[in-house]
Amino acid sequence: MKTNVTFPSSGLNLAGHVYTPDGTTSGDRLPAVVVGHPATSVKEQAPAVYALKLAAEGFLVLTFDAAYQGESEGAPHGLENPCQRAEDFRNAVSYLTTRDDVDPERIGVLGICASGGYVPYAAQTDHRMKAVATVSAVDFTGFVRDGDPAAFEKLVEQAGHLRTEEAAGKPATLIDALPNAVDDTTPHLVREFFDFYKTPRGRHPRATNRWVLRSIDQLAQYDSYVDVHKIAPRPLLMIAGTKAETLPFSQNAVAKAGEVVDGLL
């Protein structure tokens, strides 16, 4: 069963869905998982796919739109604030602890794509997150910066000018995360994203696939996995395809995380 919920995060009201396993009865205290969406995405896309699977396995699942995204509050819409994104996960866990049908000692978090960076970052210092997992994790800062460091620095400088323009009353400048069309010259990774987020397979009307350009100056100060070793001794599972172009992000995090369980690398 899926239920609409809301919860607060740093003064903003976030919109979420709670998925409850079939057969749940009054008085049950269930293990729970918070599932986070990729950048420029919404809870109805990839998180919903994982939520249904996890609920079928007996977990209560919370998906939500991050602040400034989807149905959640926050202006300008489309802002990618990494510290706020991490705070959203902490507040999602706080919300779950208030529910009578959740066992607060059995709450896990799962991050997909960019949330695969924000989730470990939040879990480094929030020990209520008893288990941490990612799927195709991306450190969003590294994803944007490492392709062309010089261009990234120019964007950081531009962010200041854009803040000045907003202060003067101009709307926030948004940029497209994906093109409107692809062809054989389009990078493979972009084509894979396009195949899900820009086609009926995964498209959603509230997923704009756009983000506020001045987010760059906040992203520039952020590192998803700087203290990932602090998650231990709690379990950390990072799932990535062997041919995925995002695989190095998971490999980098695992290398910093500490002891690896035999047979799982």
Domain boundaries, the chain: 2-257
Query: Looking at the whole model, is its pTM more than 0.75?
Result: yes
191 pLDDT higher than 90 = no
Banded pLDDT at 192 (limits 50, 70, 90):
confident
**Once rounded to an integer, what is the mean pLDDT over residues 153-179?**
93
Give pLDDT, residue 184.
Answer: 86
Domain 2-257 part of CATH 2.60.40.10:
no
Of 142, 169, 122, which is closest to residue 247 (Cα–Cα)? 142
Give pLDDT, residue 8.
Answer: 98
Banded pLDDT at 265 (limits 50, 70, 90):
low
Banded pLDDT at 147 (limits 50, 70, 90):
confident
DSSP states of 23-34 as a string?
T--TT--EEEEE
160 pLDDT higher than 70 = yes
